[in-house]
C-alpha cells in the first residue's frame, strides 16, 4: 500500500428548517464573530466532560451515524434547548475545536466513485489533525452493508515522516487492490462535541467548513454558514432527545459526506455528482 504525494496533476476545468423555540431571529448574514460569541455563551452553561471521563461505549468507533443540516445561526438556540440533556467536551477551558483533514483517494477517485454509485462496504481514508491539541491520526472509516460506520486509526503525531508505519496500517485495513493513494482534498472546520447525560450517544456540531484542493491553490470553497449535526449511536434508538427534537421540527436526516461534498465542490467538471445533487441543493438554500 503506497501513499503517494499530492503533486499529481488533475484535469478539471433559503429554505429555513428550524422553527419554534430553536428558530433563530438572526439571518445567515449575521457577523460570524457575533455568532461564535453567542455559541460560547450557550456552551458556558453546560455541564462539562473531558476525554478521560468519557466511557468506552461513548467513544463509538463502531456506530450508526445520522446527520442533519442546519445553519450556523440556528446553533445558539439549539444549544440552549439541549442544555439539560447533554454535556459538552471541554479541554483547557475551550469547547470549540478546530479540525483539519487531508483526505486520500486513488488517482481516479475510487473512494468517491463507490460512494456516488451507492456501493456498500466502502472506505474513506484521511489524516486528521486536532489543531488545539497538536495531535494527528491516520484514519480509515469503513461503511458496511448494514450501514454501520467502523473507524480505525493510528496516532502519527510524532511519526509523520515514517511512511512504513502508515503503509503497514493501511495494508491491514484496505483491500489489496487499493494502492497509490494520494492526498486529494484539504478540509477544515470547527466542532462542538456533546455527549448525552447517560453517556449512550454523542452529538457533534460542525461549522465554518472550508475546502481546498492540493492541486490548485486558487480552488477553494467556503461553507462557513452551514452546520452539520451528526448523531452517533451504538444502535438505532427512539430515546434520543436530539433526534426526537429534529422529528418534532420536521427536520429530516440527510445523507452527507464531508469528503464527497468537498469533491463535488472542488472538482465539479471532473467528477459525477448526480447522487449528491439533492444535498447540494439543500446546502445552497441554507448558505445563500
172 part of a folded domain: yes
Distance CA 74, CA 25 (A): 9
Q: How many domains does the chain have?
A: 1
Cell of 266: 472542488
124 part of a folded domain: yes
Residue 50 vs residue 189, higher pLDDT = 189
**Can you tell me the mean pLDDT for 268-279?**
95
Phi-psi label, residue 256: left if phi above 0, alpha if psi -120 to 50, beta otherwise? beta
Q: Does the pLDDT of residue 275 top 70, yes or no?
A: yes
**Can you tell me the mean pLDDT for 103-129?**
95
Which pLDDT score is estimated for 57?
46
Phi, psi for residue 137 in degrees, rounded to 5: -130, 150
Q: Does the pLDDT of residue 273 top 90, yes or no?
A: yes
28 pLDDT band, cuts 50/70/90, is very low
pLDDT in tens, 170-224: 999 999 877 789 999 999 999 999 999 988 899 999 999 999 999 987 889 999 8
5 pLDDT band, cuts 50/70/90, is low
Closest C-alpha to 103, from 173, 3, 1: 3
Inter-residue contact 206 to 228 (CB < 8 Å): yes
12 part of a folded domain: no
DSSP state of 186: E
Half-sphere exposure of 280 (CA within 13 A, CB side): 15
Which pLDDT score is estimated for 288?
80
Which pLDDT score is estimated for 149?
87
134 part of a folded domain: yes
Residue 30: helix, strand or coil by DSSP? coil
216 part of a folded domain: yes
Q: 14-18, 60-64, 149-153, 250-254: lowest mean pLDDT where?
A: 14-18
Which pLDDT score is estimated for 52?
79
10 part of a folded domain: no
Distance CA 95, CA 117 (A): 37
Cell of 207: 461549522
Q: 47-51, 55-59, 62-66: lowest mean pLDDT where?
A: 55-59
Phi, psi for residue 6 in degrees, rounded to 5: -110, 30
Sign of CA dihedral 17, 285, 273, 232: negative
C-alpha separations of 40 from 18, 95, 153, 227, 252 in Å: 20, 8, 30, 15, 27
Residue 248 vs residue 6, higher pLDDT = 248
Which pLDDT score is estimated for 71?
94
287 pLDDT band, cuts 50/70/90, is confident
Which pLDDT score is estimated for 10?
38
Residues of the chain above pLDDT 90, percent:
68
CATH number at residue 158: 2.40.320.10
2 part of a folded domain: no
Q: What residues make up the domain containing 104?
A: 20-287
> Cβ of 142: how many Cβ atoms within 10 Å?
16
Distance CA 245, CA 117 (A): 32
Phi, psi for residue 4 in degrees, rounded to 5: -85, 175
Which pLDDT score is estimated for 62?
72
**Can you tell me the mean pLDDT for 10-35?**
47
Which pLDDT score is estimated for 86?
97
191 part of a folded domain: yes
> Cβ of 56: how many Cβ atoms within 10 Å?
8
The residues with which 128 forms a beta bridge, in sequence order, are: 101, 137
What is the residue-averaged pLDDT of the chain? 86
Inter-residue contact 70 to 227 (CB < 8 Å): yes
The residues with which 209 forms a beta bridge, in sequence order, are: 223
Surface-to-core class of residue 199, CB atoms within 10 Å of its CB (0-12 exposed, 13-18 middle, 19+ buried):
middle
Amino acid at each position: 500500500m503506497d501513499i503517494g504525494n499530492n503533486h499529481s496533476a488533475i484535469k478539471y476545468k433559503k429554505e429555513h428548517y428550524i422553527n419554534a423555540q430553536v428558530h433563530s431571529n438572526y439571518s445567515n448574514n449575521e457577523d460570524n464573530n457575533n455568532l461564535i460569541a453567542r455559541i460560547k455563551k450557550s456552551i458556558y452553561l453546560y455541564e462539562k466532560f473531558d476525554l478521560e471521563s468519557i466511557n468506552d461505549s461513548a467513544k463509538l468507533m463502531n456506530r450508526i451515524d445520522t446527520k442533519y443540516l442546519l445553519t450556523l445561526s440556528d446553533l445558539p438556540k439549539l444549544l440552549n434547548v439541549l442544555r439539560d440533556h447533554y454535556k459538552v467536551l471541554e479541554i483547557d477551558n475551550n469547547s470549540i475545536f478546530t479540525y483539519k483533514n487531508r483526505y486520500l483517494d486513488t488517482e481516479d477517485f475510487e473512494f468517491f466513485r463507490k460512494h456516488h454509485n451507492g456501493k456498500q462496504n466502502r472506505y474513506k481514508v484521511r489524516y486528521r489533525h486536532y489543531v488545539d491539541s497538536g495531535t494527528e491520526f491516520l484514519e480509515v472509516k469503513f461503511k458496511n452493508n448494514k450501514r454501520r460506520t467502523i473507524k480505525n486509526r493510528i496516532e502519527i503525531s510524532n511519526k509523520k515522516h515514517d511512511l512504513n508505519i502508515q503503509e503497514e496500517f493501511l495494508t491491514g485495513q484496505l483491500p489489496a487492490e487499493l494502492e497509490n493513494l494520494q492526498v486529494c482534498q484539504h478540509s477544515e472546520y470547527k466542532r462542538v462535541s456533546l455527549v448525552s447525560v447517560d453517556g449512550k450517544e454523542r452529538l457533534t456540531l460542525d461549522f465554518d467548513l472550508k475546502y481546498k484542493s492540493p492541486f490548485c491553490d486558487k480552488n477553494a470553497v467556503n461553507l462557513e454558514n452551514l452546520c452539520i449535526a451528526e448523531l452517533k449511536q451504538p444502535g438505532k434508538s427512539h430515546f434520543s432527545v436530539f433526534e426526537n427534537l429534529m422529528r418534532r421540527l420536521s427536520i429530516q436526516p440527510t445523507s452527507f459526506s464531508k469528503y464527497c461534498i468537498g469533491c463535488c465542490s472542488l472538482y465539479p467538471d471532473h467528477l459525477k455528482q448526480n447522487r449528491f445533487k439533492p444535498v447540494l441543493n439543500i446546502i445552497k438554500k441554507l448558505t445563500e
